[in-house]
Amino acid sequence: MLVKWGASSDTGSLRVQNEDSFLAQEKIFVVADGMGGHNAGEVASAMAIKMLSEAQNEGIADANQLAKIIEQINLAIFQASANQTDQRGMGTTLAVLALTPSNSSKDVSVAVANIGDSRTYLLRNDEFRQVSVDHSYVQDLVSEGLITREEARTHARRNIVTRALGIEPSVAVDTWTLPLINGDRYILCSDGLVDEVTDEAIEKCVKQQIEPQKVAEELVAIANANGGRDNITVIVVDVKSDGNNLIEASSSPTRVASTKKSTVKKLVLGIVGAAIFVSAIALLSSYLRSGYFVKYENAKPDARVLIYRGKDFLWVGPTVEADSTLTRNDLSPGLAKEILARPSFSSSADAQDYVNQIRDVVEQAKP
């Protein structure tokens, strides 16, 4: 077993039904917070859970594939909403944690995906932080420096989300790829928890050396004790292995038979082959420039933490996208180890969000 988990979901003190849905199984963990009309939110969140479970049964290779699956789920919910009058306008937020093979090795890594204001937190080497970034009106205000995180918790418009599944025919999915490190504790939750419980109180609870099921139940109980004004769902996932389990890839050889062709046919095939070659070069160039990752510029103790774009291939190498202004000396041992694993991201914005989270942890640790 790579992971051990616990989950708890509650209607809360004021709501009459629970529109949250969740999925907790060996390789995938999901919290979906439904919204929109009588029973419709429950339908949307249940659809997301069902389709993600089916996708995991087929296997999820990486964060890019996870994002494409979520995009398909979004379209399915949108179409279902359009076809049913009583479900019109339904949608759901989504927080996903999927165990996937790493792009750079056969180690197991974690793909995190986020839509809306359901959250994913990480406790690693006694450092607690939010991995996902909320898609909400108040988060936009926080990002612009107009209000603080604490002010966002009590803001009158704190429940307005700027992105959700099923509202539009297409949606942008934020994803992160992180190494799976022994001792990690991930927390996925709906906003019913974070609206009632501060990050400091959540951190204090999850740092307890108790089973993940008890942690999940305790967090739900604290949220209810603080008012429980919304549905509350919490999943706690503990990593119990260093992630060095190899995942073997299988392939089937393909034979290509060739026969003698006429001169004209050879010419046509030559032209087609040249076109394919040019297309392959273009695709390869695009592939080599895709993806972002964070690593040190060198092995020195004062090495800078940089954001890189692209991949290593023959004479082509990644290029520096941005300087984080952090150095290895700024980081705690836990964060330093995390950067050594070269966490990867689907976009420059996601990589920058990750670096900003690391910087926040560093600043909070300063005396």
Q: pLDDT digit string (tens) for 210-236?
A: 999 999 999 999 999 999 999 999 999
User: If pLDDT is split at 50, 70 and 90, which confidence band does 365 have?
Assistant: confident
Q: How far apart are CA 303 and CA 295, in angstroms?
A: 10
User: If pLDDT is split at 50, 70 and 90, which confidence band does 194 have?
Assistant: very high
Higher pLDDT, 283 or 348: 348
* 171-192 per-position pLDDT tens digit: 999 999 999 899 999 999 999 9
User: If pLDDT is split at 50, 70 and 90, which confidence band does 269 have?
Assistant: low
Predicted pLDDT of residue 322 = 81
Rg (CA), the chain: 23
What pTM was computed for the model? 0.73
Among 23, 26, 9, 22, which Cα is nearest to 239's? 26
Predicted pLDDT of residue 158 = 84
Predicted pLDDT of residue 82 = 86
Query: Where do the DSSP E strands lie in the chain?
Result: 3-10, 20-25, 28-35, 91-92, 94-101, 108-115, 119-124, 127-130, 174-179, 185-189, 232-239, 292-296, 304-309, 319-327, 344-345
At the fourth CATH level, the homologous superfamily of domain 3-239 is: PPM-type phosphatase domain (3.60.40.10)
Among 235, 168, 308, 158, which Cα is nearest to 3's? 235
Q: How far apart are CA 140 and CA 146, in angstroms?
A: 9
Pick the range with the lowest mean pLDDT from 141-155, 275-289, 316-330, 350-364.
Answer: 275-289
Residue indicated by tokens 């629970």: 18
Q: How far apart are CA 83 and CA 366, in angstroms?
A: 55
Helix H or strand E encompassing 151 = helix 149-153
Residues of the chain with CATH 3.60.40.10: 3-239
